[in-house]
Chains A and B, each alone.
Chain A
Amino acid sequence: MVTKRQLGIIVIALGLLVLLSTIGVDFIGAGEWSGFGPLQRIGLGLGITVTVVGAILICLGDRPA
């Protein structure tokens, strides 16, 4: 059984992955915009939200997820 804390860790990892991918695409030159594109803004918002949700879940401790 997975706890809220463990789920939070997984969710944070996913959020960070989204954030890193969002920023990382600029380094490989993907996308059609030269600056920070609209899809990246969506990715950034999503990544931050997911990370915050994960952090809250970690605070909820060992309750079952």
Chain B
Amino acid sequence: MPRIKSLGTVLAVIAILVYVAYLVVYVAYAVDLFRWPFDYDQGEGFELYDAILYSQGEWPYRDNAIYPFYASNYPPLFHLLIVPLLPILGPHLIAGRLVSFIATFVTAGIIAAVVRREVACPEQSRRSGWFIPIISGLAFLASNYVYQIGPLCRMHMTMVMFETLAIAFIAKFEHPQHGRRYLILGLLMLLCAGYTKQMAVFTVVAALSYVFLRDIKKAIVAGVALAVVAGTIFWLLNVATGGQWWVNTIQANVNEFEYRQTIFLFGQWFRLHTVFILLAAGYLIYELFWDRLSIYSLWFLFALGGGALSGKWGAGFGYFTTAVAAACLASGLALGRLSQFKIHNGFDTPTATQPKPQFTIRPLLAIIIPLLYLVQASCMLHLPTSGPIFGPLARTLGVDGALVVGDCTTFQYHDSMGYTQLGHHLTPDDYAAGEKILRYVRTADGPVLSEEAMFSLLSGEPVVTNPTQLLNLYNNDLLDTTEIIARINRQEFGAVIFRAQFYPPPVLKAIGENYQPVEQVCMNGFYYHVLWPRRMFAANEE
């Protein structure tokens, strides 16, 4: 038995080291991104621009048919959280990236705290019982999805933070003294999550379902209160923006659905987080049939609904990050519960002289639990494959040759999820390419149509168009392209910068007729196509 205990301790230490190593990989990636001034993920610059607009007292929900043809399709809270950082950090992406990065750590901390709170064993000392909570929290940061999206200037991880806080609070709504306070705080967090990103609706349903199962009256009151407050804010926003809030955040988000993408992403999510998902699903089944359903299991179940939406145009694996948080939390609870479990040899009735024999599986679990976490860690393998530390580590792990290939470069990065546009570090060539594109923007003789906002923001030029939003609106017959096409036909824009040609087809057609490619620049794994107005070539020929 002591040998088993020693082996368990060794495995637990190895497991913690492995997850700490993932944390180091995450922090190194984040620090690398904090220095990068351009968009790393298409859309980051637009999120920053929304915050800049708020700091200037303007709404980002505007009429897309008139110049500058710009509007946001997201709720305001993430952008409002960036606003206080703008005077300190300037109008740079690091402001939003820091908010999102910190949100991931808060989420990991809540997961660890909740697991600790729920599985703390009174029989054990205060210091023991930290292994599963700590790993559950670190596991969230070790997920390929969280790693890739966490330090981006995108609102998704901030939504997950509010969702996790909401779940942690509402779980205690029956607390004898502070139940009411916890419920109100939980509802407030749900409101924050929803006004960070619309997808939080699944967590709202999970939380209210939990309250409903325990106290129907309270669930109805809480649901009505939340709906009234959320609806009032919604109505006020819509009035303040002259109806553009409704058009841009609701109507524009009705996109084409590709079920094959959903199936693929469900498969990928399962492959990358197999152990967590199986444990969380097992815990859900256990509670459903043998115990009472907890809010954590319900959250895991409903978070799958968010994953089901990942087939929407413009969606992706980020839609599974709530499910990852829920799986990390529920799997921690499952293992915590299991570690306290004792198998009784209970067929014979014990007598006073012959007590009931008891076989505890705890010593075996001391080995099994760290092993499970190590198996899971191997599923999520991701790390840079170059540099003084990561290079030798990648060679040792045998993944230095299994690299992610971008459009125009091979990233010195390995990820078990396969092809991905995110996760790699930037190179000096990327910085040089960014400066090259920036020179085109600075020397343009008019505003620039760019699929990424940072080129314009860094040049002090106006941000013109949000191409994906224009496409969303165009696909829903909500965009009048008359003015933008007229301006393109007049070649008013000094340059056009394409990364993926997201603009609506009529806009792309007009650009093709009036603008001519000058150069394609490889930056961050993508070809950026720079186009000039044809009038400039005509002037040169003369």
Contact = CB atoms under 8 A, between A and B. Distances in A.
The finding on whether chains A and B are genuine partners in a shared complex, rather than unrelated, reads yes
Interface of A: 1-2, 7, 38-39, 42, 53, 56-57, 60, 64-65
Contacts of A56: 289
B213 A1 contact: yes
B214 A1 contact: yes
B65 interface: no
A38 B259 contact: yes
Contacts of A2: 212-214, 216
B213 A60 contact: no
Contact of A1 (B215, B288, B289): B215
B37 to A, nearest CB: 43
B371 interface: no
B292 interface: yes
B288 A64 contact: no
Contact of A53 (B214, B216, B288, B293): B288
B211 to A, nearest CB: 11
A9 to B, nearest CB: 13
Given A1-B215, A38-B259, A65-B292, 15 more contacts: A1-B213, A1-B214, A1-B216, A2-B212, A2-B213, A2-B214, A7-B213, A39-B259, A53-B288, A56-B289, A57-B288, A57-B289, A64-B213, A65-B213, A65-B293
A59 B214 CA distance: 20
Contacts of A65: 213, 292-293
A2 to B, nearest CB: 5
6 contacts: A1-B216, A2-B212, A38-B259, A39-B259, A64-B292, A65-B292
Interface residues on B, range: 10 to 19
Nearest to B212: A2
Contacts of B259: 38-39, 42
A60 B212 contact: no
Contacts of B288: 53, 57
B293 A60 contact: no
Contacts of B213: 1-2, 7, 64-65
A42 B214 CA distance: 31
Query: Which of A2, A56, A57, A64 has most chain B Cβ within 10 Å?
Result: A2
Interface in B245-295: 259, 288-289, 292-293
Interface string B366-382: 00000000000000000
A48 to B, nearest CB: 17
A56 B212 CA distance: 20
A65 to B, nearest CB: 5
Given A38-B259, A39-B259, A60 B289 contact: yes
A47 to B, nearest CB: 15
A20 to B, nearest CB: 19
A32 B293 CA distance: 39
Interface in B186-221: 212-216
A64 B292 CA distance: 6
A10 to B, nearest CB: 10
A7 B293 CA distance: 11
Nearest to A11: B288
Nearest to A65: B213
Nearest to B260: A38
B466 to A, nearest CB: 30
Contacts of A1: 213-216
Nearest to A6: B213
Contacts of A60: 289
A25 to B, nearest CB: 13
A64 B216 CA distance: 13
A50 to B, nearest CB: 11
Nearest to B257: A39
B258 to A, nearest CB: 11
Contacts of B292: 64-65
Contacts of A39: 259
Contacts of B216: 1-2
Nearest to A59: B289
Contacts of A53: 288
B299 to A, nearest CB: 16
A20 B216 CA distance: 28
A7 B212 CA distance: 11
Contacts of B212: 2
B257 to A, nearest CB: 9
A63 B161 CA distance: 33
Contacts of A38: 259
A59 to B, nearest CB: 10
Contacts of B215: 1
Contacts of A7: 213
A2 B210 CA distance: 10
A64 B293 CA distance: 9
Nearest to B259: A39
